[in-house]
Structure 1
Amino acid sequence: MTARFNHTIIASTDPAEMADFYRELLEADDAPAWGPFRNLQIADGVLLQFAAPPIDFPPQHYAYLLDDEHFDRAYALITGQGREHWADPRRTLPGEINHEHDGRGVYLLDPSGHYLELITRACL
């Protein structure tokens, strides 16, 4: 396989707020902004672009694989900010994490209402 993930546009009610949120949570690097896009770069050169779309948008699901130390920092940030979070995608286990795939995981909502999943072990 030669295909690799390069970038995605994440629909945002406030692109600047979203970029700030993801930068802190994912410890991402700033990338040059252009046009309507606020941009961040994560591992492997993947670009996250935040923009306000011209139409209403449904919530999406984004999962990020973190190492154990990053997960600890992210979870401390989530709890320190008093953000709602869940151990499961159906949001029936509030304030908890899961231990799926011999790792840890947590679900939360970003400022635009998208579902985020932070995991320490890949699902594969």
Structure 2
Amino acid sequence: MSIVLNHTIVPASDKQAAATFFAELMGLAVSAPSGPFAPVAVNDDLTLDFDDRADVAPGHYAFLVDDDTFDAVLHRLSTWPAVDYGSGVENGWDRRINHLGGGRGVYVRDPNGHSYELFTAVP
């Protein structure tokens, strides 16, 4: 059997708000609570379990996505003026995309400071 990441905990100051932000960004749904978590199923193998924490250390979560998903995320971002996103760490939140690895990529900052990276080709 290969190794598959099944779930990971995403710390948040407000788990429901953080799960909702991520789900809406990615075109997904927040599932029913599972224990103390607000889960979002990313695909058949991976669930992000958002959990309330007093201290949130920002994390980085990277996702390889298809072109249609990338386009849908960019469209949603264009309608969310208060959300920081950009082409890369060195460029800040310049509201642009990058073209690393022959594809397209973007970084999105969530309200807890987490960085979601979406890319269409492996750099």
Calculate the TM-score normalised by the size of structure 1. 0.88
Name the aligned partner's letter for residue 71 of structure 2: D
Q: Quote the residue 1:26 is aligned against.
A: 26
1:89 offset after TM fit, Å? 1.8
Partner of 2:52 in structure 1? 52
For residues 81-101 of structure 1, the C-alpha deviation after alignment (integer angstroms, 9 at most, x for no partner) is: 112211112343612100011
SS at match of 1:118: strand
Matched residues in 2 for 1:106 and 1:97: separation? 5
RMSD value, Cα: 1.7
| Contact persistence 2:4–2:45 (CA under 8 A) | no
Q: CA deviation at 1:27?
A: 1.9
Deviation at 1:34, TM superposition (A): 2.4
* Cα displacement (A) at 1:71: 0.6
- Preserved contact between residue 84 and residue 93 of structure 2 (Cα < 8 Å): no
Could you say if the C-alpha distance between residues 43 and 34 of structure 1 is closer, same or farther in structure 2, counting changes exceeding 3 Å?
Answer: closer
Cα distance between partner residues in 1 of 2:10 and 2:68: 26
Aligned residues: 122
Gaps spanning 5+ residues in structure 2: where?
A: none
Secondary structure of 1:43's partner? coil
Equivalences for 1:31-110 in 2 at 5 Å? 31-53=31-53, 55-82=54-81, 83-92=83-92, 94-110=94-110
Shift of 1:35: 2.5
Q: Whole-Å Cα distance in 2 between the matches of residues 90 and 17 of structure 1?
A: 28
**3-state SS, counterpart of residue 107 of structure 1:** strand
SS in 2 for 1:31: coil
Distance 1:59 1:90, change over 3 A: farther
Instruction: Say if 1:30 and 1:39, in contact at 8 Å, map to a contact too.
Output: yes
